[in-house]
Structure 1
Amino acid sequence: MWRWGPRHFPRETPRGCRRLASYPCSWGAPDPIHATLRRSDRYLQPSINISMRQTGGADFGVLVPVNIVRSMLLLGIAVAVAAIWIGALQPATGVVLVAREGSVVALIDGKALGPVALEQGGRSIPILPIDIEKDSDTFATHATLNHFYQRQTMLSAMSRAPGANLVVAGKKHPVQARRGILGNPFGFWLILIPGVLGIAVTAVVLAADPKNLANRLVALTGLMFPFVVAGSAIAITRDLAIDGELYRWLMFMHEISAVLFALIMAALFCVYPREIIPAKTVAIVTGLGVLFALTIAIGRVFEWVVPGGHGMAGTLVSLREISGGSQIEVTAVFVALCAALARQFQVTRGDPVARAALTWFGLSVVVGAGGFIILLTLPNLVGMRSVVDGSVGFPLLLLIYAGLTFGLLRYRLFEAKTWSFRVLYAVSATAALWLIDAALIYGFGLDQGPALGLSLILIGLVYQPVRAKLSTLFMRRTGLRKNEMFAAVMKVAFAAPAARSEQWRALLHRLFEPLEITPGDPATVGATIGEDGVALLVADPAGGTALRLAYPGQGSRLFTPDDRHIVQEISVLCRQAADALQSYERGAADERRRMAQDLHDDIGARLLSGILVAQGPVKSLLQDALRDIRTLVTGLIGETAPLSRVMADIRVETASRLEAVGMELDWPITVEAGAHSMPYHHSKAITSAIREAVSNTLRHAQARQMTIRISIEGDAGVVEIADDGRGIAPDKDRGNGLNGIASRLDGIGGSFRIDRPDVGTRLTLRWPLVARRQTPQTEMVSYGR
């Protein structure tokens, strides 16, 4: 006997669930079934042993996973073979019998013929509607069920005897004593095969980790499943009759295994993926439920031979009649299962991986088991005939193990929300169609053909608009609208190179709202979903550091393939925008080079000719204009100018201006200027700032001497300009000239400071040296008189 206890739930953080200050998650038992994927290859390795711990005397010994799979498959196959063999031994008439208006007719060549009787040895027994009833649970009283058993025994014995014939409208149809294996109808296989598939899936789950309680409970449901379907496959698909004693035992096996299946499934959701009820409590309640179900099932054994109310056996029969049998038990357990499932959805709010697996598994259980109960169980409880038989209802239970395969093996868990809504929509549409069809047939008396057509019309007119509205409401994605996303992508593409990666990071945060954004694997290409949807690895389209995004939607969901596609699309859009920007810049650069060539060749040549013939102030002005043209040409073609040349040009200009007014210039600075270059916008800002400072001195300072110092301090260039004039009053605001200097320096990331010494004024200009030559060469340049 397996022991249930806390030791099956070591307290550790579940995969995909972390203690996050901004989004706390639920702590509790680990998700043992999620380990299936990581260990799912064990059953393929016969050499791997899993040693089970001692649990208070309950020793599982050493279990080899491949033996677990083999043993459970052999059990399922054995049950299936037994069912096939028993089915093959049953008689067959080869005629389809249906109940019509209180009598039985045979459908032959598209015609309904009757009456129908079974004849053998000169004895003829008419076939009644009770004889072809597929589900004995539809009988309301003990007496009716006994009558059904007796007639089944009698008809089965006559069908097996030599010379048995089914007489339809006076015409005899020989009855085969055995229908054979190939004579088992399609519905028989449709009911039986899911039992073998179910036990195979659960065998793999148990083999992956036999120590985990959740895996064991799943395996127990798989062990019950073949017994649930085997008896029903024989009884429901019988041709006319099987022995009443065999029928009774088949239904006993079906009933007790079905209740056990439901109880174990409900117990599973009490401990998976979180332990919402203590394991010992679940064990006790499940055990009491098994005892009660066994007591009720024993009532079926005695209900043929013992009348209700006589002795202990009769009391069990009476208890079964009062309780309603297994149908009410299974329905009640299903309600408890749904309550446990709802609670699990609450406690897994902080673990998106567990929530996704629970969505797959829970949805499959609700749809599979719920569909079975709605189609087969509830109609019997309310006294209505079911619109389908077990050949349709029992395969629905296979959906449970299909969901188990998706959920426990974590196949596309990140699409759980999308697929869950699609499945619910499909199931809801089918259920609505059946309900409307049944209401039109039984409530309004319409024939099946018109009722089906009208049902389809109503579904199209009412359900589809409702479905579209619900889809918009529940599957609406939070994030950016298309115009906002386009604007954000353009902002990334057109950002400065230094800020482009930061803009990309901000865009991803706006799109997915992850709790974590950390550097990712440098080898990341495009976008890749990792850690079962918890993380998304994204390459930077600008060539920066790859990023790892974790816990999207503030930790409330997983990444989906749609998220990956969005990232891939915006990455392509960013690259296309960047390529377009580069193409534009190349075109603009070509145009600037053409304009620069024209300035150099035409205007520059004309100014040079004028300088050669000009005299005095005109020649000086032409020389200044030629220097400006040379600066503009340098800026237009995007070249960097050596710091030494920029300082030399402005020094010559400054010296000429001061000499014209009789003012002295002291510029004795020696700087390692050859190792530094200046882009055009830097050189233009610095020369304009020095020029404006000189102009201010000439207009306002009334100075006799100006001193200029050039120096390199780390990665910054520094210019100090001082005069011996009357200075600037402390209470005087800056004029346009000084504000212009400050604005120019701010545009290149520099700074501007005014000092007021005892005599005159001192201005300090500082700017970053952003460009360097590949092969620095120290060139000592002296500026001075």
Structure 2
Amino acid sequence: MREFDRFLQRQTRLYDALADSTLGLRLISGESVDAVVNNRRPLGDIHWSFWLQLACGGLGLIIGVAVWAFRQTEMAASYYALTGIGLWLSASAAAIYSTRELALPGTLFNVIHAVNSTGTLLFTAGFTATLAYYPARLADWPIGRILVGVYVTVAALLALRWVPSFDVGVRVPVLAGFVLAIALAILQWRRARLDPVGRAALRWFLFSWFFGSSLFVALVFIPVLFGLDVGAVQGPAFALLLIIHLSLAIGISRYGLFRLEQHWSRILTIAGSGLAICLVDVTLVWLLDLGTALALGVSLAVVGWLYFPFRQWAWEKGLRSNRRRPALVRMVTSILSRPDEPADQAWSRLLQQAFSPGDIRSGPQGITDAIVDDGLRMQIAADVERPALELNLCDRGARLFRRDDLWLLADLRDVFAAALGYRERLIEGVGEERERVARDLHDDVGARLLTLSYRLQGEDAEQVRQALGELRSVIYSMRAGALSLADLLGEWRAEAVDRCEMADAVIEWVVYGEPPPQARAGGEILALTRLFREVLTNALKHAAPSWISVTIQVSQTHLACRVEHAYEGPEPAEWRANIGLHNLRYRADQLGGDIQWSREPQTLVTRWAVPLQIDEADAMREAHA
């Protein structure tokens, strides 16, 4: 403070000397000359940095107050307005004393300097308090009011000269606010991990902060440590604070945030790299007390041999951890490995792999591929085979959708269409080969078994007919989608009637419900037929009944069968476990159903029920109809 007081006294003496109309000057050569003093300073002689600082302060004030005017209920906007007031006070005061022609009265200089220091402290308090409330409030207790109270108190103590130095009154509080802002930024980042909009806003906020702060440190703080005069750049440096202010205004207004996200890692790396290099220089000069020349050489060695390799390693590791898009080859493989998966379902699964959205919903017809709601949702246009969709919360809310996601979507469309076309041709080829094999079995093996069944009598003929029925089921399974459920029930009835006639049993066949019209998959036809056939075989073989009643209940989603016949054997609970019972239970379980036996007066009832496989493509089309 004493050195500053001596500076103010010297300014007062110079100002008093300039009050006369002439001023006597002694040159270095020893010659004395009289200079005429012009007490009026033309506007054209005022340095351009004076107007720049006034513009920065004025714009900061206008932006801060404007944001507060539209967001008066938000605490963040209030403290942001305080940063505008602080910038205005600091820049306006600095504009006067930093561009003075020679001297100012000591008293006036002291007041202007106090206003500048107060504005700097208010800017720091408002900036730090904003981070306590934006994008989310971190605590219920009034962090902002406490911070403002502390910094206003420090400003008052500085104005009253109750602090030992400007380091204690200005620089230490500013540095402390900087460190506290880092801690609050970390807390806000953790709080916003599931809030993509808040996370994008915070990224914009931190970008503004690091960009302006690192440049300010590089232009003003580092040169001072090397003993360089920064008076010429102090005025332009306020433009950096204005950049921070403008960027924060955009962030708080939530304008176009998601466009920054694709450049976030690059921006953070550049800003962090510059700041890290500056910190290395500061550490070498300040802590190790090295000279400027030696510190420069050591810093080059440290940066070149240690910092840059470490940064490259961290960058590559970050790139590897961010490779969350599956390879296109793996996508194609996943599509081809599921030939029965409907195109709609495969497309949704592919989008799930590529973008990991929180959910996928049907979208309105007529939409185009677009990112909406500040990146919260991505709309996907419909095409001939697939309906319109909406993806919500990219990476399950960890980030927003961005423009390169639309480019990825276009690539996925092309790859999916090619893979789907190849899968269809593959399925067609496999189907043709199955059809050829099924035709050969029917025309050759089937014809031979049929001829053999007519030539044989008794039990041998029955075994041949069973083999022929099994062959028919295998042929149906190879012809995927060859039968509807109604046709399948007709096949069952014909087979049951034939077998009951051969066993001298009367059959009663009843069907309730409306079978679904869709053709069934071959595997499902074979599994259902084997379950029905084995139940019928057990009834005819072990009970030798004179009558059998078959009741089938069918719906769009389930199939149930009840087989009742005359019976005089033991209770089902007393049956000895054998391969036949195990096979029946296994077949029902494989179909997702169950099978039960119950003894009623002089009859045995076998009940089995299974869910029907749903055609996903038809279900999705009905859902979007």
TM-score (norm 1): 0.57
Q: How many residues align?
A: 587
Q: Give the Cα separation in 1 of the matches to 2:187 and 2:456.
A: 92
Aligned to 1:466: 310
Matched position secondary structure for 1:668: strand
Segment drifting more, 214-223 vs 572-581: 572-581
Aligned to 1:315: none
Matched position secondary structure for 2:428: helix
Shift in alpha-carbon separation, 1:470–1:566, aligned structure 2, 3 A? farther
Aligned to 2:584: 741
Q: How much does 1:256 deviate? A: 1.2
Segment drifting more, 557-566 vs 356-365: 557-566
**Are residue 435 (structure 1) and residue 296 (structure 2) matched?**
no
Aligned to 2:622: none
**Are residue 711 (structure 1) and residue 560 (structure 2) matched?**
no
Shift in alpha-carbon separation, 1:491–1:187, aligned structure 2, 3 A? same
Q: Give the Cα separation in 2 of the matches to 1:176 and 1:619.
A: 134
Aligned to 2:238: 394
Matched position secondary structure for 1:244: coil
Superposition pairs for residues 620-769 of structure 1, below 5 Å?
631-641=473-483, 646-647=488-489, 649-650=491-492, 653=495, 663-671=503-511, 679=520, 680-697=522-539, 700-701=542-543, 703=544, 705-712=546-553, 714=555, 715-724=558-567, 726=569, 730-757=573-600, 759=602, 761-768=604-611
User: Contact (CA 8 Å) 1:624, 1:653: kept in 2 or not?
Assistant: no
Q: How much does 1:425 deviate? A: 1.0
Q: Deviations over 1:292-349 (max 9, x none)?
A: 34445xxxxxxxxxxxxxxxxxxxxxx6xx7334x54222431453465367457755
Q: Give me the CA root mean square deviation.
A: 5.9
Q: Deviations over 1:160-181 (max 9, x none)?
A: 999x99999x9xxx99989976
Q: How much does 1:427 deviate? A: 3.7
**Are residue 244 (structure 1) and residue 107 (structure 2) matched?**
no
User: Contact (CA 8 Å) 1:529, 1:559: kept in 2 or not?
Assistant: no
Matched position secondary structure for 1:669: strand
User: Contact (CA 8 Å) 2:93, 2:115: kept in 1 or not?
Assistant: no
Aligned to 2:623: none
Matched position secondary structure for 2:480: coil
Aligned to 1:292: 157
Shift in alpha-carbon separation, 1:346–1:228, aligned structure 2, 3 A? closer
Give the letter aligned to residue 253 of structure 2.
Answer: L
User: Contact (CA 8 Å) 1:360, 1:420: kept in 2 or not?
Assistant: no
User: Contact (CA 8 Å) 2:53, 2:238: kept in 1 or not?
Assistant: yes
Superposition pairs for residues 410-449 of structure 1, below 5 Å?
410-411=254-255, 413=257, 418=265, 421-422=268-269, 424-432=271-279, 434-435=281-282, 443-444=290-291, 446=293
Segment drifting more, 207-216 vs 587-596: 207-216
Shift in alpha-carbon separation, 1:549–1:442, aligned structure 2, 3 A? closer
Shift in alpha-carbon separation, 1:144–1:570, aligned structure 2, 3 A? same
Q: How much does 1:613 deviate? A: 12
Q: Which runs of 5+ in 1 are unaligned?
A: 1-136, 297-318, 773-785
Task: Give % identity.
Answer: 20
User: Contact (CA 8 Å) 2:277, 2:303: kept in 1 or not?
Assistant: no
> Normalized per residue, which structure has more helix?
2
User: Contact (CA 8 Å) 1:153, 1:245: kept in 2 or not?
Assistant: no
Shift in alpha-carbon separation, 1:474–1:709, aligned structure 2, 3 A? closer
Segment drifting more, 396-405 vs 649-658: 649-658
* Alignment counterpart, residue 3 of structure 2, candidates 136, 140, 144: 140
Q: Give the Cα separation in 2 of the matches to 1:605 and 1:336.
A: 91
* Alignment counterpart, residue 225 of structure 1, candidates 64, 77, 87: 87
User: Contact (CA 8 Å) 1:642, 1:673: kept in 2 or not?
Assistant: no
User: Contact (CA 8 Å) 1:596, 1:636: kept in 2 or not?
Assistant: yes
Q: Give the Cα separation in 1 of the matches to 2:317 and 2:369.
A: 31
Matched position secondary structure for 2:434: helix
Larger radius of gyration: 1
* Alignment counterpart, residue 404 of structure 1, candidates 248, 254, 257: 248
Q: Which runs of 5+ in 2 are unaligned?
A: 616-625
User: Contact (CA 8 Å) 1:368, 1:399: kept in 2 or not?
Assistant: yes
Q: Give the Cα separation in 2 of the matches to 1:290 and 1:758.
A: 100
User: Contact (CA 8 Å) 2:90, 2:118: kept in 1 or not?
Assistant: no
**Are residue 260 (structure 1) and residue 104 (structure 2) matched?**
no
Q: Deviations over 1:388-418 (max 9, x none)?
A: 8425643332343144234312345566774
Q: Give the Cα separation in 1 of the matches to 2:344 and 2:536.
A: 39
User: Contact (CA 8 Å) 1:708, 1:720: kept in 2 or not?
Assistant: yes
Q: How much does 1:641 deviate? A: 3.1
**Are residue 277 (structure 1) and residue 139 (structure 2) matched?**
no
Q: Give the Cα separation in 2 of the matches to 1:222 and 1:726.
A: 95
Q: How much does 1:548 deviate? A: 3.9
Shift in alpha-carbon separation, 1:488–1:529, aligned structure 2, 3 A? farther
Q: Give the Cα separation in 1 of the matches to 2:213 and 2:490.
A: 90
Q: Give the Cα separation in 2 of the matches to 1:692 and 1:217.
A: 80
Q: Give the Cα separation in 2 of the matches to 1:456 and 1:727.
A: 95
User: Contact (CA 8 Å) 1:719, 1:765: kept in 2 or not?
Assistant: yes
Q: Give the Cα separation in 2 of the matches to 1:356 and 1:650.
A: 63
Q: How much does 1:259 deviate? A: 1.9
User: Contact (CA 8 Å) 1:671, 1:710: kept in 2 or not?
Assistant: yes
Q: How much does 1:564 deviate? A: 5.6
User: Contact (CA 8 Å) 1:228, 1:257: kept in 2 or not?
Assistant: yes
User: Contact (CA 8 Å) 2:369, 2:406: kept in 1 or not?
Assistant: no
Q: Give the Cα separation in 1 of the matches to 2:142 and 2:317.
A: 33
Give the letter aligned to residue 582 of structure 2.
Answer: N
Q: How much does 1:720 deviate? A: 0.7
Q: How much does 1:755 deviate? A: 2.6
Q: Deviations over 1:660-700 (max 9, x none)?
A: 6xx42111324479966673444433433343345445654
Superposition pairs for residues 414-563 of structure 1, below 5 Å?
418=265, 421-422=268-269, 424-432=271-279, 434-435=281-282, 443-444=290-291, 446=293, 455-456=299-300, 458-468=302-312, 490=334, 494=338, 528=371, 530=373, 535-536=376-377, 546=390, 548-549=392-393, 552=396, 559=400, 561=402
Shift in alpha-carbon separation, 1:628–1:219, aligned structure 2, 3 A? closer
User: Contact (CA 8 Å) 2:208, 2:244: kept in 1 or not?
Assistant: yes
User: Contact (CA 8 Å) 1:494, 1:578: kept in 2 or not?
Assistant: no
Q: How much does 1:142 deviate? A: 3.7
Give the letter aligned to residue 70 of structure 2.
Answer: A
User: Contact (CA 8 Å) 2:343, 2:420: kept in 1 or not?
Assistant: no
User: Contact (CA 8 Å) 2:394, 2:401: kept in 1 or not?
Assistant: no
Matched position secondary structure for 1:711: strand
